Amino acid sequence: MSDDQVLPMYQKIKEHILEHIANGDWQPNQKLPSENEISAILNISRMTVNRAFKELTEEGYLFREKGAGTFVATPFQLNPFFELIPIAQEIAIEGRKFSTEIIKMNVVENLERHELHFYDVDQEKVFYSEIIYLSEGIPIQFEKRYVLASFAPNYLKEQFKRDCSTTYLQKLSTVLSQKHTLEAVIPDEKLRTILKVDDHVACFKICEKLQYKNKLISYAEQYYPASRYKFHSKI
């Protein structure tokens, strides 16, 4: 049975809308057909269409205006309420020099251990990178990232001299959604060596998930030394 046959109808409507947005068929601030119009065209219940619209609005892809209808969200509106700014932009905000040290860039050989992150990765090729981001030559973030090759086929060719990996992936699609979790951790010896911090210094750990059309396309773990880093965000 194909994935399309398995998907519920409201999910098919969501993917149909997201495909039009990703292809540029529907531009930011463009009004969508009404729920009643889509219901009549597809011969499905209005409640099914309403659920698709409601979820896409909650996810930031659409916005509604009372009495006017439903519209495609602009790239700014696609940002969540609290969004962490990519490290390259963080360093620019501080007015400092951005640079990188690439430790690893390779194709993942054994995908089984990564099924926790990529639920449907069986037939997918996955890239892996380890990168140190520096501010004025001082390590400010160490990142381990997994990326679906189908989304970013040229990822392994990038040197990230101007942009970090998050910014690079965001430029490939304006409709990426982001999820972050933040925690404080005690770095092990390897991480202390990479970040050049003393034994007593804690680190911030951010787990970042980037999704395209409700599919995870990248998972990253990012470590920041608490002694020399402060967060900036968009609200």
Give the model's pLDDT for residue 111.
63
What is d(CA 186, CA 135) in angstroms, rounded to the nearest whole number? 22
Look at residue 234 and tell me whether its pLDDT is greater than 80.
no
What is d(CA 131, CA 142) in angstroms, rounded to the nearest whole number? 6
Residue from 141, 158, 131 nearest 96 by CA: 141
Give the model's pLDDT for residue 15.
81
Give the model's pLDDT for residue 140.
95
Q: What is the mean pLDDT of residues 168-196?
A: 89
Give the model's pLDDT for residue 81.
44
**pLDDT single digits (tens) 28-52:** 889 998 889 988 888 888 898 998 8
Burial grade of 3 (CB within 10 A; 0-12, 13-18, 19 or more): exposed
Q: How confident is the model at residue 7 (pLDDT cuts 50, 70, 90)?
A: low
Spatial contact of 129 and 136, defined as CB atoms under 8 Å apart: no
Q: How confident is the model at residue 25 (pLDDT cuts 50, 70, 90)?
A: confident
- The pTM of this model reads 0.64
Sheet of strand 98-107: strand arrangement:
98-107, 126-135, 138-148, 215-225, 203-212, 177-185
Look at residue 153 and tell me whether its pLDDT is greater than 90.
yes
**pLDDT single digits (tens) 85-127:** 889 988 887 889 999 999 999 998 766 655 556 655 555 788 9
Q: What is the mean pLDDT of residues 198-210?
A: 91
